């Protein structure tokens, strides 16, 4: 059997907080398994597979075609604007996550009307690996920023405020292209 190459410092799975085996309690080690460097228990052989961190967002428009955005209260990107969004709980449907986060951040009750985009790529250490973006419409509530948003407002697509994340920018560009093509 060919020995596995020693991992370089940047390859070691330091980002994974799991350091002890959930099965037997022994300290995990970084080893090559299934074609890549993974956390492996030297005692019982458990191979730890990292899972994606998933967030969901809701793109809501009003009758004028303006898009709902929230101003971020916290870093990263404090003070910049994004779609109402947040992390999906382990037992939560991402569409429900999008509705919940929109309600928590804006005070609005919504209905999910479709799937718009899935954006891959973590932008910062605490960010999501995947952002699932749904479209939706307001069904009730009163617009009022709360939770981790300092403001919530509708903006026309041609006059957007400074946007926080690539996922927000990419999604809004995608949404805008779809709407322009429908008009033509």
Residues 6+ apart with CB under 8 A from 167: 57, 82, 83, 85, 119, 123, 128, 131, 133
N-to-C CA span, the chain: 62
The 10s digit of each residue's pLDDT in 139-178 is: 999 999 999 999 999 999 999 999 999 999 999 999 999 8
Q: Two tokens at 162?
A: 């400074």
Do 134 and 116 contact (CB within 8 A), yes or no?
Answer: yes
What's the confidence (pLDDT) of residue 182? Answer: 72
What's the confidence (pLDDT) of residue 10? Answer: 36
Domain boundaries, the chain: 1-50, 54-183
User: Is the pLDDT score of 106 beyond 50?
Assistant: yes
The CATH fold assigned to 54-183 is: Nucleoside Triphosphate Pyrophosphohydrolase (3.90.79)
To the nearest whole number, what is the mean pLDDT of the chain?
A: 89
The 10s digit of each residue's pLDDT in 70-92 is: 999 998 999 999 999 999 999 99
pLDDT grade for 3, boundaries at 50, 70 and 90: low
Task: Please state, for a pLDDT cut of 70, what percent of the chain lies above it.
Answer: 89
* Secondary element (H or E) of residue 106: helix 94-106
* Secondary element (H or E) of residue 109: strand 108-120
pLDDT grade for 8, boundaries at 50, 70 and 90: very low
Whole-structure pTM value: 0.79
- How far, in Å, CA of 152 to CA of 68, rounded? 7
- Exposure letters 132-143 (e unless 16+ CB within 10 A, then b): bbbbbebeeeee
């Amino acid at each position: 059997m060919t020995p596995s190459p020693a991992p370089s410092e940047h390859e070691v799975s330091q980002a994974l907080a799991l350091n002890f085996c959930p099965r037997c309690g022994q300290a995990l080690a970084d080893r090559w398994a299934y074609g890549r460097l993974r956390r492996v228990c030297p005692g019982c052989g458990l191979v730890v597979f990292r899972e994606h961190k998933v967030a969901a967002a809701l793109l809501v428009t009003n009758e004028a075609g303006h898009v709902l955005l929230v101003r971020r209260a916290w870093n990263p990107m404090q003070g910049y604007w994004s779609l109402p969004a947040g992390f999906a709980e382990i037992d939560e449907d991402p569409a429900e996550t999008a509705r919940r986060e929109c309600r928590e951040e804006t005070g609005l009750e919504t209905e999910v009307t479709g799937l718009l985009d899935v954006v891959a790529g973590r932008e910062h250490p605490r960010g999501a690996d995947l952002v699932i973006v749904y479209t939706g419409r307001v069904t009730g509530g009163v617009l009022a920023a709360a939770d981790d948003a300092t403001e919530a407002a509708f903006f026309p697509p041609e006059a957007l405020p400074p946007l926080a994340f690539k996922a927000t920018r990419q999604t809004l560009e995608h949404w805008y292209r779809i709407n322009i093509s429908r008009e033509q």
